[in-house]
């Protein structure tokens, strides 16, 4: 075909808007910044400890003093929110997760230390029992089954301890029925009216949590699986019901977890609900991108930014990601 025979609708050539950096920047539809990122920190006991996590290259368990330093770095780069997860010492693990109700546990001490040292950064902590139980489940067990209402009673008390310690956002990740409403009523009743709830509204029973469970020490002790309370990966309409329920119970923000494998769910939630929406780029998704880069299959910076931009494009307001500090540096 001769050049002059090519037909373009109204003279349109899409490549005109792709021909240089400045025009691509000007017409870019989705913008990713440090302000979109939530940075998870893994805590462990000790002092001056920065312990590598085998399944998550580049990520460490941090003693509280090291976590404070990391919080300063995050704040300086413009990251607005940290998410704290603790590795509970073996001797403090119990069937009922009693350490979750210790107002001086590792997470509560870290909340107070970071709040004092870096007052301008937001602090979030999970409300769940999996890092405190000797069986690795998010609630208490009876005859091998996770009890819903008995677990919710404990989660309410855990949330109050976190709020008292200075937590800005409590994040119920347990997937018990009714826990958002119970936590909201308790927070209001105890004067914690400004504490936000970010609900893990659509948390799937995914195989991609393995490196996280290694990081917090629950991988080897988990008995059975979590499919009776976490969502079936085959379901999307159910996620919309879960989100609706948690919003009606008082959630300020909702989350879809994992992120990259559930972009369709993120999009459906975004289209239907007008509340802040986050996604969790989980440990397995992070590890896959890292390991592929280590094998020379792709450039890690490009893969990192493409994956985060995809989550943002799907409809996320915020992204909880282990790449947060690295991405913030690149985006700066």
Q: What pLDDT, in 10s, does the model give residues 258-296? A: 999 999 999 999 999 999 999 999 999 999 999 999 999
Catalytic residue among 3, 7, 145, 203: 203
Let me know: does 144 contact 224? Beta carbons within 8 Å. Answer: yes
Which domain CATH number covers 122?
Answer: 3.20.20.70
User: Is 297 buried (19+), middle (13-18) or exposed (0-12) by CB count in 10 A?
Assistant: exposed
Pairing of strands 122-127, 141-142: unpaired
* Residue 102 included in any domain: yes
In a domain, 199, yes or no: yes
Per the annotation, the verdict on 257 as an active-site residue is yes
The whole model's pTM is what?
0.94
Quick: pLDDT tens for 70-99: 999 999 999 999 999 999 999 999 999 999
Task: Kindly name the residue from 2, 3, 226, 257 that is annotated as catalytic.
Answer: 257
Give me the domain span that covers residue 303: 32-331
Please report the pLDDT score of residue 36 as a whole number: 97
pLDDT in tens, 32-48: 999 999 999 999 999 99
12 assigned to some structural domain: no
| Angle, helix 263-272 to helix 237-249, in steps of 10 degrees | 50
pLDDT value for 262? 98
The structural domain count of the chain equals 1
2 labelled catalytic? no
What pLDDT does residue 219 have?
83
Q: What's the pLDDT score for residue 115? A: 97
Answer yes or no: is pLDDT of 312 > 70: yes
Beta-bridge partners for 203: 257
CA distances from 311 to 31, 95, 118, 264 (A): 11, 37, 28, 10
How many whole angstroms separate alpha carbon 190 and alpha carbon 167? Answer: 14
- Does a structural domain hold residue 63? yes
pLDDT, one tens digit per residue, over 136-169 is: 999 999 999 999 999 999 999 999 999 999 999 9
């Amino acid at each position: 075909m001769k050049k002059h025979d090519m037909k373009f609708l109204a003279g349109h050539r899409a490549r005109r808007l792709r021909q240089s950096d400045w025009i691509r920047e000007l017409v870019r539809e989705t913008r990713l910044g440090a302000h979109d990122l939530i940075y998870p920190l893994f805590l462990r006991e000790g002092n001056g400890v920065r312990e590598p996590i085998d399944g998550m290259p580049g990520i460490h368990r941090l003693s509280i003093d090291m976590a404070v330093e990391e919080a300063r770095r995050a704040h300086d780069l413009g990251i607005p929110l940290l998410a704290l997860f603790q590795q509970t010492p073996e001797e403090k693990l119990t069937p009922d997760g009693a350490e979750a109700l210790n107002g001086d546990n590792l997470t509560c001490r870290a909340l107070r230390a970071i709040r004092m040292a870096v007052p301008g950064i937001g602090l979030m902590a999970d409300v769940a029992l999996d890092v405190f139980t000797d069986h690795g489940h998010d609630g208490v067990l009876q005859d091998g089954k996770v009890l819903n209402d008995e677990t919710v009673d404990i989660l309410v008390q855990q949330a109050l301890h976190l709020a008292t310690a200075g937590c800005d956002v409590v994040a119920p990740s347990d997937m018990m029925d009714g826990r958002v409403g119970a936590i909201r009523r308790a927070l209001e009743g105890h004067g914690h009216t400004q504490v936000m709830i970010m609900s893990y509204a659509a948390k799937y029973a995914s195989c991609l949590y393995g490196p996280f469970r290694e990081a917090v020490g629950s991988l080897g002790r988990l008995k059975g699986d979590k499919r009776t309370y976490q969502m079936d990966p085959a379901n999307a309409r159910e996620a919309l019901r879960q989100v609706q329920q948690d919003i009606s119970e008082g959630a300020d923000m909702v989350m879809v977890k994992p992120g990259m494998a559930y972009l369709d769910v993120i999009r459906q939630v975004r289209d239907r609900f007008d509340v802040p929406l986050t996604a969790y780029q989980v440990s397995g998704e992070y590890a896959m991108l890292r390991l592929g880069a280590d094998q020379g299959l792709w450039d890690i910076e490009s893969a990192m930014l493409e994956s985060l931009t995809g989550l943002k494009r799907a409809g996320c307001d915020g992204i909880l990601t282990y790449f947060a500090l690295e991405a913030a540096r690149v985006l700066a």
